Structure 1
């Protein structure tokens, strides 16, 4: 394992859930963390080490560039990027509010691509690591999750292409695919039937905690430089699909 002390990280979607847990875990490990989110008021609650809060909307390419630039200006380098920001607005195709599709594509897929694009020059310089947050929905689509799954399948494709482009240059690209995690993500669903179904499903299993996913992230970034953990699939023991 390599020491993370003094490394610099940018974590997106850090105001809650997995992003907040990852930012906290990295900071406790000695990493200087830029925590980015739209809801900057929530970032003040993050503790455990050096955490630099910045306003970041990953669907806005200029906002992404500004957050990366602010990180490098403050710390002089960038070693780790955790591309975590995302929304899950599931529902059937028939009768769907297509503005929700647009929001998911802009945030989940294009947002992660914008972050990777802006951060890559600095990661190439530091021979750093980028974590791309996918989902079990990026492996198997199901009725009602078509648009959401499409964004996660897209993340998987982009991540693998990026890996092939930069791995021989020392940059490690990691796809992490969590199953059901106890976060506020499912509560944002606007379709009443899907919201009820999600609530029942989440209540029926021992879900992952955000800290469980953060531990997986730490495992990947802690490996020695010659070891690339390219994929991590992490489900609750009770989750079947």
Structure 2
């Protein structure tokens, strides 16, 4: 009864949105923007203290719009954890409308540095994490007759630079997986890939190779704020059900 009551009280334009990697950067901006628009945002990440702070910071404005942020611990490399994340949202709200697969890592390095553990970490988070999200949400979307996948890829899915070989490989994989999902899915399931260029975030903080870190400092001299990506995702979600925004590339005007 409680679930049915909640569903009846939730306006159709207010969605139940799951966001992975929501504790900083793009994920944090997306969660805040969508909550302020009145959506119920289930925000997942390992740093739950930051999620709770985000929920408290946005609570008043989000509540006025009818939405809010609901923090949940999440490790996207664990398929059971991702499954529980999706089930939590469905149990609480009766449905899941959107899954934003944003979690990602970027420890860039040259291939001859042989940082195999870092390569594997990128594969685990950037590729397997996306697949775990699809595996958890696709049956729910199919059962309820609709849903929206949003994958945050990267300009690295379209461009390879020295030190980006593995990272670009994982982001091209994310792009390809999402495009395959779009082609295979029923029209009631919308699929969007967002490919950001240089965005102010913590991603570069994980780079351990000195040369790659120095190059990234120069490369990131002109960065846009995460809110630009949040606005792009908001635009894709707001389209009518018969409009599927397949891909958006967003980058600084100076990033040619």
Report the TM-score, using the length of structure 2 for normalisation. Answer: 0.89
Aligned pair partner of 1:140 in 134, 156, 159: 159
Residue by residue over 1:9-67, the C-alpha shift from the partner in whole angstroms, topping out at 9 and shown as x without a partner, is 10000000000000011111111010000111100122142111000010111110111
Q: Are 1:94 and 2:102 matched, yes or no?
A: no
CA distance, structure 1, for counterparts of residue 254 and residue 113 of structure 2 = 32
Aligned residues: 235
In structure 2, relative to structure 1, the CA distance for the partners of 1:147 and 1:117 (3 Å cut) is same
Retained in 2: the 8 A contact 1:4–1:30?
Answer: no
Counterpart position of 2:65: none
Counterpart position of 1:152: 171
Counterpart position of 2:224: 208
Which runs of 4 or more aligned residues in structure 1 lie more than 2 Å from their structure 2 counterparts after TM superposition? 3-6
Report the TM-score, using the length of structure 1 for normalisation. Answer: 0.94
Q: Are 1:43 and 2:51 matched, yes or no?
A: yes
Q: CA deviation at 1:143?
A: 1.3
Counterpart position of 1:20: 28
Structure 1 unaligned residues grouped into runs of 5+: none
Counterpart position of 2:247: 231
Q: CA deviation at 1:4?
A: 6.4
Aligned pair partner of 2:73 in 39, 47, 55: 55
Cα-Cα RMSD: 1.2
Counterparts of residues 80-91 of structure 1 (less than 5 Å): 80-91=98-109
CA distance, structure 1, for counterparts of residue 174 and residue 189 of structure 2 = 18
**Which of these two proteins has the greater Rg computed from alpha carbons?**
2
Structure 2 unaligned residues grouped into runs of 5+: 1-10, 63-67
Q: Which secondary structure does the structure 1 equivalent of 2:19 belong to?
A: strand
Q: CA deviation at 1:196?
A: 1.3
